[in-house]
Structure 1
Amino acid sequence: MENVSEALLKELIESVLEGRNILHKKSAEINPVSLEKKGEPSDVQNMEMPADGENRQEIDCKKDDAPAITDYDVREQYLVENPVNREAFADLKKNAPCRLGIGKAGARCKTRPMLQFQAAHSAAQDAVFSDVDPKVLEELGLFQVQTQCRNKDVFLTRPDLGRRLNEEGLRLIKERCRQNPQVQIYVSDGLSSAAVNANVREVLPSMEQGLQGYGIETGTPFFVRYGRVGAMDQIAEITGARVTCVLIGERPGLLTAESMSAYIVYNGYVGIPESRRTVVSNIHSRGTVPAEAGAHIAEVIKKILETEKSGTQLAL
């Protein structure tokens, strides 16, 4: 390689740096909002660019300037460009929180729907791997028992162990629960502790009040940690209840991670067919409202006791 003079090398460096400065200035002149079509919502709102030398982390982003991505209601979000009939489709979309009409940015989803999807996925994971808040159990006066699952990992990989109580749990239920009640209610985390935290404070008291109004006797409620739906069969045998009902967190989806269900069985026993279970599902703030769900479950239990049938045998 030939020797390059110091003057020539300095000239080359200066020309490269000058070219980079020109590109930087042109890039800074572009307004992100102007890239959006007129009349269409922008993924970049109220965004201030930092001045030269300013630390981006020192910018104060107020909530009014940058709403949390989970604050948007997908039922009111319609991002399709140049739709044939915006009003009709948007009106249909308000009836269900489906990810429809979210538009495209080239071959990918737009930024906001993609962030909403990622946030929903994270919430679903948190719901599965978190635990029910002890304060919730304390407020409702629920004592706690556990299945044969030692921890969350065992619970997720061994569903069979989540259907059987451990020895300590069996002992506590025999000691502390009223025997042979008309209805035995208990709460379980299932696959969404977030669902229990969000709903059980309203559902359980509403259920108990409704059953009391019908003159139906209930047993001593409690909480089962790492529980599957099938654990209710063993509990039915232990307590001798005519009807057993579990309020349990459902497998979280990408629309909500806070959906809870009530599974109800008449004269349950270990090995009872799944078709004998009656279920009231989608109990959450944007589905079946918790307080109303409790009253409805009480009414369903009343009918089960009257007909002595549950599941597919029961005609609601």
Structure 2
Amino acid sequence: MEEPLERLKASTPARIAAGRAGTRPTTREWLVLRADHAAALDAVYGEVPAALLQEHGLFSVDSRCADKEVYLKRPDWGRQLTSEAQDRLRRHCQRRPAVQIVVSDGLSASAVCANLRDILPAFLDALELEGIPPGTPLFIPRARVGILNAVGDILEPETAVLFIGERPGLVSAESLSVYMGYRPRSGKTDADRMVLSNIRKGGTPPAEAGAYLGVLVKRMLEEKRSGVGF
């Protein structure tokens, strides 16, 4: 049995046959578990450095969630922009772009820090290759996926792409998701969106995901649809 068990353990990052000392995990496994749990907490409560936002020219506006505690308790506010944010979008951002890029820490600032430098340039290169000009790239801290509708109501993009940190687990705290949709507006739901998830080291490589996103955006623009009807 040892050989099949070793093959199974090697095929997944899940904790399989980790061992125990009596009724408890071994000291080593317990310490690894505690470290992974701490990394998950850091991902949720961490912040994306301002230097990283400046590096990628991300224009920042706020959701209605003033801090992480509010963000965790009021998902609906994470889908809404403050009045000031709405005014800033109207004043400073390009209207009706072919594709609107939005970045958010979501439930993992660590995911943005670990993946943005690879995935965003790859995506921009793919758009340039396809001749698709992006609008003003945004960073919205403490946002939920539905923030795309709020941005869409104001800027009226043809398509929108949201890079957002996934809920961290005990396998990885650095997993990024990308949600995208055709003409996001009020009333659109998850059924109208598509998603690439598990973008990280050990999952879908971020540079590869960025290149593939360019293909998907081109198809959405050509077919004028997204989501379950895509």
Q: Normalised by the shorter chain, which TM-score bucket?
A: over 0.9
Which residue in the other structure is 1:294 paired with?
A: 210
Pair 1:107 & 2:23 matched: yes
Are residues 1:149 and 2:65 paired? yes
**CA–CA separation in structure 2 for the residues paired with 1:108 and 1:162:** 40
1:18-59: CA deviation from partner (whole Å, max 9, x where unpaired): xxxxxxxxxxxxxxxxxxxxxxxxxxxxxxxxxxxxxxxxxx
Deviations 1:206-230 (CA, angstroms, capped at 9, x unpaired): 1011011011121110100111111
Shift of 1:260: 0.6
One-letter amino acid of the structure 2 residue matched with residue 269 of structure 1? R
Please tell me the residue identity of whatever aligns with 2:73. Answer: T
TM-superposed deviation, 1:273: 2.1
2:163 aligns with 247
Q: Residue 88 of structure 2: SS of its match in structure 1?
A: helix
In the alignment, does 2:42 pair up with 1:96? Answer: no
**Identity rate of aligned residues, in percent?**
43
Structure 1: how far apart are the matches of 2:4 and 2:92?
57
Q: Is the 8 A contact 2:59 2:136 kept in 1?
A: no
Does residue 171 of structure 1 match 2:87?
Answer: yes
3-state DSSP of counterpart to 2:107: coil
Q: What is the one-letter code of the residue matched to 2:168?
A: P
Residues 173-197 of structure 1: CA distance to partner in whole angstroms, max 9, x if unpaired? 1122111111101101111111111
Moved over 6 A (4+): none
> Shift in Å at residue 271 of structure 1?
2.1
Cα distance between partner residues in 2 of 1:299 and 1:187: 19
Partner of 1:266: 182
Residue 144 of structure 1, CA deviation: 1.0
Q: How far apart are the structure 1 equivalents of 2:24 and 2:80?
A: 46
- C-alpha deviation, 1:89, in angstroms: 2.4
| Counterpart in the other structure of 2:198 | 282
Cα distance in 2, alignment partners of residues 223 and 245 from structure 1: 12
Residue 74 (structure 2) aligns with:
158
Paired letter, 2:23? A
What amino acid maps onto 2:228 in structure 1? T
Offset of residue 88 of structure 1: 2.4
Q: CA RMSD in A?
A: 1.1
1:221 to 137, 143, 151: 137
The equivalent of 1:66 in structure 2 is: none
1:180 has 2:92 as partner:
no
Q: Superposed, which structure 2 residues align to 1:5-24 within 5 Å?
A: none
Instruction: Extract unaligned runs of 5+ from structure 2.
Output: none
2:63 and 2:81 in contact (8 A); partners too: yes
Secondary structure (helix, strand or coil) at the match of 2:170 reads coil
* CA displacement at 1:312 relative to structure 2: 1.2
Q: Which runs of 5+ in 1 are unaligned?
A: 1-83
Deviations 1:97-144 (A, max 9, x none): 111121222111111111111111111111111111111101111121
Q: Distance in 2 between matches of 1:174 and 1:204?
A: 24
Supply the distance in 2 between the matched residues of 1:313 and 1:94 (Cα, whole angstroms): 38
| Structure ID, larger Rg | 1
Aligned AA for 2:45?
Answer: F
Q: How does 1:19-168 map to 2 (within 5 A)?
A: 84=1, 86-168=2-84
Give the CA deviation at 1:306. 1.8
Give me the whole-angstrom Cα distance separating, in 2, the residues matched to 1:283 and 1:121. 20
Residue 91 (structure 1) shift:
2.1
CA deviation after TM superposition for structure 1 residue 302, in Å: 1.4
How far has the Cα of 1:94 moved from its partner?
2.3
What is the alpha-carbon distance in structure 1 between the residues aligned to residue 126 and residue 3 of structure 2?
42
Higher relative contact order (CA 8 A, sep 6+): 2
Query: If the length of structure 2 is used for normalisation, what is the TM-score?
Result: 0.96
**Mapped pair 1:304 → 2:220:** yes
